[in-house]
Chains A and B, each alone.
Chain A
Amino acid sequence: MKLIFPDGHDAEIASEGRTIEAIILELGLNPFELLVSRDGEIIPEDTIVNDSDTIRLIRISHGG
C-alpha cells in the first residue's frame, strides 16, 4: 500500500493483513497523534488495510 505521511512524503509498505495501527506503531509513530484517511474518507485506526490502498496520515496537533 501507499502510505502518505503528514509531511507529504510517501512510502510503499506491505500491509500483510495488518491494521493501520499496527503499521503506524511499527514505524515508531504514535497512532493516538494521527488520524487516517483512505481515498479521502476517514477510517478508524483498527481498520485492516490492503496493498492496493492509498493511506494518508493526518497529524492531529502541531507544535507547542
Chain B
Amino acid sequence: MEGKRPVCSICSSPAVFLDRESRAHLCSQHLKESVESRVLSRIIQEEPLPEIIGVAFSGGKDSTALLAVLASLKDRIPSRLIALTVDEGISGYREDTIRHAKDVCTRLDVEHRIISFTRLYGRSLDEILKSSNRKACTVCGILRRRALEVLAEEEGVHLIVTGHNQDDHAQTTLMNAFSADIKKVFAGSGSTSRFARRIKPFAAVSEREVTLYAIVSDLFMALPECPYAGEALRGEVRRLLNKFELDHPGSMRNLARAEEDIRKRLKSKVKNIPMETCKVCGWPGSGDVCQVCLLLNEKETISRTDLQT
C-alpha cells in the first residue's frame, strides 16, 4: 500500500512540492504555473521587449528550466528566443552538457548558437589553466562573460536572460557581506552601450522550484559536476544557507530580496565609474586594459617565461 502522499492545496492532485514556509503543497501543473507567473512578471518589466531575447544557456538545470519556461510563454512573450551557449573546453565535463543543451533546444524548438573558448581565445579553459595560478572559477567567469557578450553581439542580442535563481542571489548577498565590499552589489551595472542588458527572471524562484520545473517538464538530466567547482567559496556559503533555511524557512528569500533592496536604496548614492575602452581589444573595461586581455596576456608572459627556463 502506498504511503500517505500530500495533495495540491489548489486542486487536490498529488503534490510534488512543499512550500516549507506556508506549508502549502503544489502539484506539477500548479508548480509550473507558479514559476511561469513569476518569470513573466519579471520579463514584462522590460517592455517594450526587444525583437530577440538571448538566453544564457549552459545546458545545466537552471538555464534548461529557464529556456523551458520562456518557450512555454511564447504566446505572452513575442520576442524570438536564441539560446546562447559558451563551450569553455572542460574535458570530461562539457561534452555531456553541450550534448544535453543541443537536445533541449531541439525538443523546445529554440534556435541555438555556441561559441567556444578555442575559437575566441585560441585555447580551451583546460589549456589556459595549465599556465595560470588564478582560481579556475575566476578565470572561467571573466572569459565566459566576454564570450557570451561576443556571441550576443554577433547575433544582434541586446537583452540576455540568465538562470540565476533566488538561492544564487542569497548566496551572493552573503558573500558580498563577508567581503564587506558594497561595490560588488553594483558590479556590472556600469553603463555602456556595447554590453547586452542582463536580467535574472528566476530571481524570485528558489533553486528547488527551478529543479522541480526541469524534472516535471522531463528536461532534467543528472549531469557530471564541473571538475573545477570544488574550490569555490560559494559551495561553503550554499551549505551554510541551506542549513539556515531548513531551520528558518523564508530566510533565503529574504536575503535575496535584501540585495535588491540595498541596490534600490543606494542606487542614487552610488556613482558608477564610467567604463574605459580597452586599448588592446576595444571592449569596455574597468581600466585601460580589460580583465580579459590582462588575463590572456598574463598567460602569454608565463608561457614565454616557461619556455625560457
Q: Judge whether B18 is part of the interface by a CB distance below 8 angstroms.
A: yes
The answer to whether A42 and B246 touch across the interface, beta carbons within 8 angstroms, is no
Asked whether A63 lies within 8 Å of B16 as measured between CB atoms, the reply is no
Q: Could you tell me the dominant secondary structure of chain A's interface residues?
A: loop
Residues of B within 8 A of A48 (CB): 3-4
Chain A residue numbers with a CB within 8 Å of B238 are 61
- Beyond A60-B208, A64-B137, A64-B235, is A44–B229 a contact (Cβ under 8 Å)? no
- Judged by a CB distance under 8 angstroms, whether B232 is at the interface is yes
Residue pair B225, A60 in contact (C-beta under 8 Å): no
Interface residue range, chain B: 35 or more
B215 in contact (CB, < 8 A): yes
Interface check B32, CB cutoff 8 A: no
Q: A30-B242, A35-B212, A64-B232 are in contact. Are A45 and B4 (CB under 8 A)?
A: no
Q: Is B5 an interface residue (CB 8 A)?
A: yes
Extra 6 A-B pairs, beta carbons < 8 Å, given A47-B5, A58-B222, A61-B167 = A32-B208, A35-B212, A44-B17, A50-B2, A63-B225, A64-B231
Interface residues of B (CB under 8 A from A): 1-6, 14-18, 20, 25, 28, 137, 167, 207-208, 211-212, 215-216, 222, 225-226, 228-235, 238-239, 242-243, 245-246
